Amino acid sequence: MKHPLELLFYIAFASQIYLLSYEIPRRISARRWKVLENFPPEKYPKLYTQSRDQYLISDARYRMLNTIILLIGIVVFLSLVFVVDHSTFADDGYVSEAWPAGYGMLQFVPLIFLEIAQFRELRAMREANTATSRQAELKPRRLFDFLSPTLFLIALILFLSVLATDLVIGDGMSLSILTVAVTLILASLGWWNLRGRNLNPHQANADRSTQISATLTSFAYVSIIMSIFYLFTLADQVYDIDYLDAFTLSVYFQLVAGMSTGFLLQCMRLEDMDFDVYKDNSVVS
C-alpha cells in the first residue's frame, strides 16, 4: 500500500459494502418479518394481497440477492487489497472510481426490485378494495406543512450553486443538465407524494402525513448531498484532486442510501403506525 489515501478508500469501500449490502437489507427484512409476526393476515387481512408463504418466499429471495451481492463485494475488496498489483495505483493514491461506482449500482438493484414489488402490492391492494365509504382528509396539503423551509432553501441554494459554478468553471454544461434532470425527477416524485392519490386505500391520515413529510425531507437531503457531490466534481476540474474521486463516490453512495432508505425506515416506525385500519371491521381511510 503506497499511499494513505489508498487506505482511506479501503475503509470507505468496506463501509459501503457493509451498509448497502448488509445493514440496510437486514433492517428491511427484519421490518417485514416484524409486520408478519405482529400483524398476521388472519387478523389484518386488508394489509395483504398474497398468502403468508408468498411473502416469506419474496423475503428469502431478497435476502439471497443481497447476500450474493455482499459476497461479490467481499471478493472485490479482498482482491483489491491482496491480489491487485498496487504498483498500478498512482503515486498520489488515486484509485479508479469505477470500483465503488460499478459495485454501488449493483447494490441498488435489490432496492429497485423492492420498490417495484411494493408498487405492485399497493396497486393490488387498491384493486381488491371493495369499500364504498371513505374518510377523506379535507385539510389542503401545503409544502411547508411537511418540509422544513430552511431545508428547502438550503437545497435550492446548493442547486443554483451547481448551475452557477458549472457555468463559470465547468467543461461544458453536461453536469448542469444532469443536475436539472435529477432535480426534476425528485421534484416530480415529491409533488406526486404531496398531491397525488394515495395508492394505499386503507392508510390512516396520520400515517399518510408522516409518510409525506418523511419522503419530502428525504428528497431534500438527497438533493443536498447530490449538489455537494457535484460541486466537488467541479472543483476537481480546477484543483486536480482526482485522487479523492473513489473515496468521495463511495461516501456519496452511502449518504444517498442512508438519507433515502435508511431515513424512511427511521421515520416510519411500526410502533407509531395505525394498523387497525387493516382489520376486517376497520373504517377505510
Residues 2-17 pLDDT 10s: 567 788 899 999 999 9
Cβ atoms of residues 27 and 66 within 8 Å? no
Q: What is the mean pLDDT of the chain?
A: 89
Is residue 186 in a domain?
A: yes
Whether the predicted pLDDT of 248 surpasses 80? yes
**Domain-located, residue 282:** no
283 falls within a domain: no
Q: Is the pLDDT of residue 267 over 80?
A: yes
pLDDT at 283: 43
Q: Are 141 and 212 in contact (CB under 8 A)?
A: yes
pLDDT tens digits for 224-242? Answer: 999 999 999 999 888 877 7
Assess if residue 285 is contained within a domain.
no
Q: What are the distances in angstroms from CA 65 to CA 23, 48, 69, 100?
A: 14, 23, 6, 19
Domain assignment present for residue 121? The answer is yes
Res 89: pLDDT: 53
Q: What is the pLDDT of residues 46-103, one digit of tens each?
A: 999 999 999 999 999 999 999 999 999 999 998 887 776 554 455 555 678 888 999 9
Report d(CA 206, CA 223) in Å as an integer.
26
Count structural domains, the chain.
1
Quote the pLDDT of residue 96: 81
Residue 251 lies in a domain: yes
Domain membership of residue 136 (yes or no) is no
Pair 1, 89: CB distance under 8 Å: no
Q: How confident is the model at residue 45 (pLDDT cuts 50, 70, 90)?
A: very high
Q: What is the pLDDT of residue 136?
A: 57
* Domain that residue 169 falls in: 4-129+141-277
Cell (9 digits) for 192: 406526486
What pLDDT is recorded for position 4?
Answer: 72
For residue 284, being part of any structural domain is answered with no
Report pTM: 0.89
What sign does the dihedral 223-226-228-230 (CA atoms) show?
A: negative
